[in-house]
Structure 1
Amino acid sequence: MKMSGDEIRLIQRAKKGDPAAFAEIYDRHQPAIYRYIFYRVGDAATAEDLTSEVFVRLVERIDRFTYRGRPLLAWLYTIARNLVADHHRRAGRPSPLPLDERLTASAADPEEALARRLTQQRLIAAIAYLTEDQRQVLLLRFVEGLDNETVARMLGKSVGAVKALQHRALAALRRILERDGGP
């Protein structure tokens, strides 16, 4: 994922202090950053606070942003990842991943909703056994829908390492879920 000419111009405007440019960056990237943080902390209020802090830091540090093959969103994810790590350090331990209410809300009947919720709870419990790198790759790839190249740039890893982490994470999830009776 490379930056478009439009995004480069937007960043140039932001570096000049244009409030409309910051507003546009926020509108474009806030939903993805919030979602990423929410899935990492499991609490809406904390996710909102940390998301706000990401954009405060964007305003404070936009002059430090230099295009090096990574889009602005990757830089924002890096800020978010660091804030989440700081949050977990202060809290003493990571919070569990939250349940995604959208999956259970779309069920046609209560029995289907319960089955989905149970499946989801088992998946979340299984994800807790993965390494932090594996969880992060799965989140960025499957929740955020980012490609391997973008995830690699964000995490400072090679594309091959991201693919290997993804493969190992999915294999581990399969083993855990099969051991515990399947999804």
Structure 2
Amino acid sequence: MQLPWPLRDELHARRLARARDGDGEAFRALYRDLYPDVVRFVARRVSARADAEDLAARVFVAFVERLGDYDRERGSVRGWLLTFARNAVIDHLRKARATAAPELLDLLPSDAVGPEGGLLQREQLDQLAALVRELPADARELLALRFADGLRHREIAEVLGLQEAAVKQRVSRVLRDLRARLRPAAGKKGAESALA
């Protein structure tokens, strides 16, 4: 059973404090708990698996080197670590001169029933994907952080260096805009449910 986020945040902060004081087991526990989040975050943004694994390793090297810089008042350990991951991805993409956007829609689960339901859902998701691709890069990143990476508004604020209220407002505005632009067809409800 996984702990709720407030308790996990507290546990991570305590483990980091112990790791900072030289407790290797505390760091290993942090690594085991946070590594999957970092790998998922990086893998959604970097297409080559080897590059994603390399970047995740670099993130943890930076994490170890900067353990003493963590400020609990500024946010969670997870948010702080994902900031390293975001910066590593940006540097990687900049070096590769690639312009890759996170593919949020490939991560949505399918609950379609039967061939007709599957076709209808695919059509709705294709329409939503086209709308998402038209969004500015910062709006796509907000959606990816919120829905693909499953970050809370506070964590997104930490990663992007924004206020939590600003993140809530921006995510809400992007979703409202997407809902308004969806084709008013019979299948609209299914595409909107993907945004809920």
Q: Mark yes or no: TM-score above 0.5.
A: yes
User: TM-score if structure 2 supplies the norm length?
Assistant: 0.73
Does 1:100 find its partner at 2:110?
Answer: no
CA spacing shift, 1:97–1:177, aligned 2, 3 Å: farther
Gaps of 5+ in 2: 192-196
Cα offsets for 1:103-122 (capped at 9, x unmatched): 35x76656655655554454
User: TM-score if structure 1 supplies the norm length?
Assistant: 0.78
Equivalent residue number for residue 45 of structure 2: 40
Secondary structure of the corresponding residue to residue 126 of structure 1: helix
Match of 2:59 among 41, 54, 61: 54
Deviation at 1:28, TM superposition (A): 0.9
Deviation at 1:38, TM superposition (A): 2.1
Equivalent residue number for residue 162 of structure 1: 167
Secondary structure of the corresponding residue to residue 41 of structure 1: coil
Cα offsets for 1:124-148 (capped at 9, x unmatched): 4432222333223222222333332
Deviation at 1:78, TM superposition (A): 0.7
CA spacing shift, 1:11–1:171, aligned 2, 3 Å: same
Residue 97 of structure 2 aligns with an amino acid whose one-letter code is: G
Conserved in 1, the CA contact under 8 Å of 2:139 and 2:174?
Answer: yes
Conserved in 2, the CA contact under 8 Å of 1:41 and 1:94?
Answer: no
Does 1:66 find its partner at 2:75?
Answer: no
Conserved in 1, the CA contact under 8 Å of 2:146 and 2:156?
Answer: yes
Equivalent residue number for residue 148 of structure 1: 153
Cα offsets for 1:61-87 (capped at 9, x unmatched): 212222224010011111111111112
* Percent identity (aligned): 36
Residue 17 of structure 2 aligns with an amino acid whose one-letter code is: Q
Higher relative contact order (CA 8 A, sep 6+): 1
Secondary structure of the corresponding residue to residue 68 of structure 1: helix
Match of 1:91 among 87, 96, 99: 96
Q: How far, CA to CA, are the matches of 1:48 and 1:169 in structure 2?
A: 31
With 119-128 and 19-28 compared, the bigger mean Cα shift is at 119-128
Q: How far, CA to CA, are the matches of 2:174 and 2:47 in structure 1?
A: 21
Secondary structure of the corresponding residue to residue 44 of structure 2: helix
Conserved in 2, the CA contact under 8 Å of 1:130 and 1:172?
Answer: no
Secondary structure of the corresponding residue to residue 93 of structure 1: coil
CA spacing shift, 1:176–1:63, aligned 2, 3 Å: same
Equivalent residue number for residue 194 of structure 2: none
With 109-118 and 124-133 compared, the bigger mean Cα shift is at 109-118
Give the aligned length.
181
Residue 106 of structure 2 aligns with an amino acid whose one-letter code is: D
